[in-house]
Amino acid sequence: MCGIIAYLGKKVAQPILIEALKRLEYRGYDSAGVALLGSGAIRIKKTSGRISALEKILDEPDAAETLGIGHTRWATHGKPSTINAHPHLDYTGKIAVVHNGIIENYGTLKTWLQNEGAAFASETDTEVIANLIGYFYAKGDSEEEQKKSDGQNKFEWSVQRALQEMHGTFGLAIVCSDFPDTIIGAKRGSPLILGVGDNEYILASDAAAIVEHTTQAIYLADNEMVTINPEGFHTKTIDNITISKELKQIEFSLEQIELGDFPHHMLKEIFEQPKALSTCMGGRIDSRNNRIKLGGIDSYLRELTRTKRLILIACGTAFHAGLVGEFLFEQLARIPAETEYASEFRYRNPIIEDGTVVISISQSGETIDTLAAVEEAKERGATVLGIVNVVGSSIARTTDTGIYLHAGPEIGVASTKAFTAQVAVLTMLAIELGRRRHIRSDQASKYIDELSQIPDKISQILNQSDHIKQIASANIDQDNWLFLGRGFNYPVALEGALKLKEISYIHAEGLPAAEMKHGPIALIVDGMPVVFIATAGPQYNKIMGNIAEVRARGGKTIVVATEGDENIKQHADHLITIPDVPEFLQPMLTVVPLQLLAYHAAVLRDHDVDKPRNLAKSVTVE
């Protein structure tokens, strides 16, 4: 969703802001803009459309402008348009703001400001922020108010006053033409990181926009703000209490977020899965002692071992990983588990009994629904564990304990390597809890051994990419697809359908295969592609029955099966194979051909795979 950038240093700001905005593109956006300061008034350039459209309307960079803010907007309040694009200038023309988040009481504030004489140009909630800061800046200089401001400058005081009136979420970068060497950043609910370089500062909603300049950063927490100028920076709460923040190392490199030889980040990340999983599991699998070591949650392992019930909460692809986790915990650890959409959990008056542990799963660690569900679960007394990729993200900081994926940055909007890494972490946790509860040591050792071979087995599947491209090509004109699986592979069917929908814009449904007969079978017409996950396992014969039902109605079967299964060949119009592994390890393999199928279908349909329409990488609004 919206991406924020601000630069203050000795270099010319405009090209730095544009490069940084390109690094934020993957978050999803529909318009972009910059505001530059240095030679007098604030100079704003903004437009709907891509950064390339913004570049076309930019003037030559001005060497005097060494400070600026920039934004990629994902529309919430007001359609994508130039007028609604950020930065927004206040009615006095002195304050410019870029914003990520939603101001819930913007309607009331807007009416009040209009009554006070403030003019509005856009439909956005962000303009209310600019105008409210501008209002306090223009009016708030009575002796009384200046006294309250405790010696701080008027700009900072006005920002604090305005933010104290705001309900909702914000990540903000703000400039004021009277202070051409100052940027203020503030955060509540939306991420904001300050990169601290050599005589330069980069404030961004995402570390991907910072690493090119520095890997040293401070992570703002909710209701905190930072004031930056050439002398340095200071951090406070928005209630004006000074706080000190620790400088942290950003844990990934520029190389990891660049495309290299791949045409798209999504394809790069699909192919990175063997390495991502090796890193995720490396150091955690202790084959000598038949154990899994999950250092981060050491002090919670006894509580987890004794837990009576697990609730997994997540959204989208992470939710599908959670569904796999449900099977894993029940089968391997014999712990009752259920998976819930985070957005439903938080509004459902959930029952948290003594001994319930909540596991939240999130790649970005910023998904607002998951974050809010974590807070809800904590408030109701649950211990909450986070399975998160982005180090230092909001969910990672809010949960009681957690396990990082260590899958490396995921830039492709369609989540791929994060899914397999989430399932790998859930598998490790389930095996370890199972070992502590009831699994014999020789059995645990066998499981651990098989798990450690998964990265190599994914590599074997990746070799079929060209074959899968041909399958996508043969079915590319079809507008309705079904994905069917059973048991551990039922969540994979959901994930396969989601992948196809989000980047190819082909309508697809994922279902537990047996459910097909209870309605969706009516959809099957001649030539409709139906993707089956029919790997070796206890439900193999049942799914063969479902394949026959589809073929009898003219459906075309694309079957993911186990290598060496000769019988399946006669039932598949197209066959993709995976190496033989126990059923509980299959999801990490069966999902890979479905990721490739969706990828190739999207490319064949000429879609921008890394920037699918309407989608955002990290969903920071409800």
Query: Could you give the residue numbers annotated as active site?
Result: 2, 617
> Which pair of structure tokens corresponds to residue 462?
């990746």
Closest CA to 383 of 329, 433, 310, 323: 310
Task: Report how far residue 220's alpha carbon sits from residue 394's, in angstroms, rounded to the nearest whole number.
Answer: 10
Please report the DSSP string for 217-264 in residue order: EEEPPTTEEEEEETTEEEEEETTS-EE----EE----TGGGS-TT-S-
Q: Across the chain, which distance is largest between two alpha carbons, in Å?
A: 87
Closest CA to 232 of 245, 248, 215, 213: 245
Phi, then psi, of 97 in degrees rounded to 5: -135, 140
Distance, CA of 380 to chain centre? 26
Task: Report how far residue 197's alpha carbon sits from residue 192's, in angstroms, rounded to the nearest whole number.
Answer: 16
CA distances from 539 to 190, 249, 535 (A): 44, 48, 9
Closest CA to 555 of 595, 496, 590, 513: 513
- As measured in angstroms, the least distance from the Cβ of 504 to ligand F6R is 12
Contact 236, 159 (CB under 8 A): no
Closest CA to 510 of 316, 269, 370: 316
Task: Report how far residue 292's alpha carbon sits from residue 68's, in angstroms, rounded to the nearest whole number.
Answer: 48
> Which pair of structure tokens corresponds to residue 6?
């601000």
- Nearer of residues 158 and 398 to ligand F6R, judged by Cβ: 398
Task: Report how far residue 9's alpha carbon sits from residue 478's, in angstroms, rounded to the nearest whole number.
Answer: 53
Exposure pattern of 499-527 as b/e (b: 16+ CB <10 Å)? bbbbbbebebbbbbbeebeeeeeebbeee
> Which pair of structure tokens corresponds to residue 94?
């002195």
Phi, then psi, of 382 in degrees rounded to 5: -80, 150
> Which pair of structure tokens corresponds to residue 362?
């999130």
431's enclosing H/E stretch is helix 417-437
Q: Which amino acid is at 621?
A: V
Q: Which amino acid is at 126?
A: T
- Where on the chain is the footprint of ligand F6R (CB under 6 A)? 315-318, 362-364, 367, 370, 414-415, 498, 502, 618-619
H-only helix segments in 282-367: 301-306, 316-328, 342-345
